[in-house]
Amino acid sequence: MLKLAKRLKSLKPSPTLALDAHIKKLRSTGVDVISFGVGEPDFDTPETIKKAAIEAIKGGFTKYTPASGTESLKKAVCQYYSTHYNVKLSTGQIVVSNGAKHSLFNIALALFNNNDEVIIPAPYWVSYPEQISLVGAKPVFVETKLKDGFKVSSSLLERYLNKKTKAIILNTPSNPTGMVYSKDELKDILSFVKANKLFLIADEIYDRLVYEKKFVSVLSLLDNLPDVKDYVIVVNGVSKTFAMTGWRIGYTISNEVIAKAMSDIQSQTTSNPASISQKAAETALLGGDDDVTAMIKEFRNRRDLIVSMLKDIKGVKLKSPDGSFYVFPDFSHYLNKKFNGIKIQSSLKLCEYLLSEAKVGVVPGEAFGAPGFVRFSFATSTENIKKGLERIKSALYKLK
């Protein structure tokens, strides 16, 4: 019998990617499935970005780059944060990786030892606990409430603090809830971080995808907190804002000691991100605003539509998302109901029922640490939203 590493015993596959693969398989057999599952903009990468990649290929920019990314892309990251958040950075703080997920794993490898504890507010993005567990640390979940906007505060975090606590992961705007932390809320959490000398890992991958509220980068609040600067690590990338999921470019912003550690790790694992993708990302960060504005406008319209249609379904509770392209309603009203004598005992079973009966793919809340909830991505067409929600409503009303 093959003996694999023990760490794999607790590793779970990504439920969102598994759902997407299942839906693609159904579609290949001719089944008309509408998917609200994958966190990927349905827009094409803007032409100016694609042209930059083509020019890089034609110009022979196809060799190795420094392991942590090109100096010119790092300068573009610095310019991006200066332009949008009035934050001054140096290129020594930047490590460019193969997507923000890779950036997060670099952080885990650089910071966490066996038995360290990392606080994760729930609902959470599916890969946070898996990556923490892979490096031998322990994820500690803090349950948040719909009525509180799915947010944590210093008083709530205090209950989960002990001598083993090393870091907090904060995702704003959030996947899966779409909530966005305000300036005062972030200041409260930074005060907690400072008082307890914890690392704060701020995942800002959806930073530009905000609607009525203004996004506040945690980096913009550090000028008067010199003791905290070294403990804050920001994760971002071009996947969501610029519709570049397949290009695989993410990055971290940290103090230079941590950046050097992550660069060293990357040099011995993946080495540099794709040279061509780096050139494309550079163009996105320095000049993609018009395309981003158009995408945000369309996402806002879709959000308003899907929220309106979900509110029209009896028993569904939700908060309209302030950012990202997800909505995370509470479907617990439909749990323990039956269809053809079979009881729907969890949101996982409910999602299986909706895929089977309504031919609609959504992600169960269990994947995000929130049983009873269901995640919808509205990164799909208005037509699909209307048709998909009508199918779901019809299927739900068949439950007794």
Query: Residue 98: its pLDDT value, please?
Result: 98
Residue with tokens 């008309």: 32
332-to-264, 314, 327, 340, 346 alpha-carbon distances in Å = 46, 11, 15, 19, 8
How do the domains of the chain map onto residue ranges? 6-44+290-396, 63-287
Residue 17: is its pLDDT beyond 80? no
Q: What is the residue-wise DSSP string for 195-242?
A: HHT-EEEEE-TTTT-BSSSPP--GGGG-TT-HHHHTTEEEEEESTTTT
pTM here is 0.95
With contact defined as beta carbons under 8 Å apart, do 96 and 250 qualify? yes
Q: Residue 375: its pLDDT value, please?
A: 97
As a whole number, mean pLDDT of residues 151-166 equals 98
**Domain 6-44+290-396: assigned CATH number:** 3.90.1150.10
Q: Are 52 and 68 in contact (CB under 8 A)?
A: no
For 163, which DSSP code? T
Dihedrals phi, psi of 377, to nearest 5 degrees? -95, 125
Side-chain half-sphere CA neighbours of 34 within 13 A: 21
**CB contact at 8 A, 263 and 92:** no
The answer on pLDDT for 87 being more than 90 is: yes
Class of the 63-287 domain? alpha beta
Same topology, domains 6-44+290-396 and 63-287? Answer is: no
- Helices 382-396 and 289-311, packing angle to 10 deg: 20
By C-alpha distance, which of 86, 93, 88, 101 is closest to 71? 93
The pLDDT of residue 396: 97
Q: Tell me, what's the pLDDT at 11?
A: 85
pLDDT range class, residue 314, cuts 50, 70, 90: very high
pLDDT band at 16 (very low <50, low <70, confident <90, very high): confident
Q: For 55-85, write each residue's pLDDT tens digit.
A: 999 999 999 999 999 999 999 999 999 999 9
Q: What pLDDT does residue 19 have?
A: 74
Mean pLDDT of 182-204: 97
What pLDDT score does 46 carry? 97
- pLDDT at residue number 282: 98
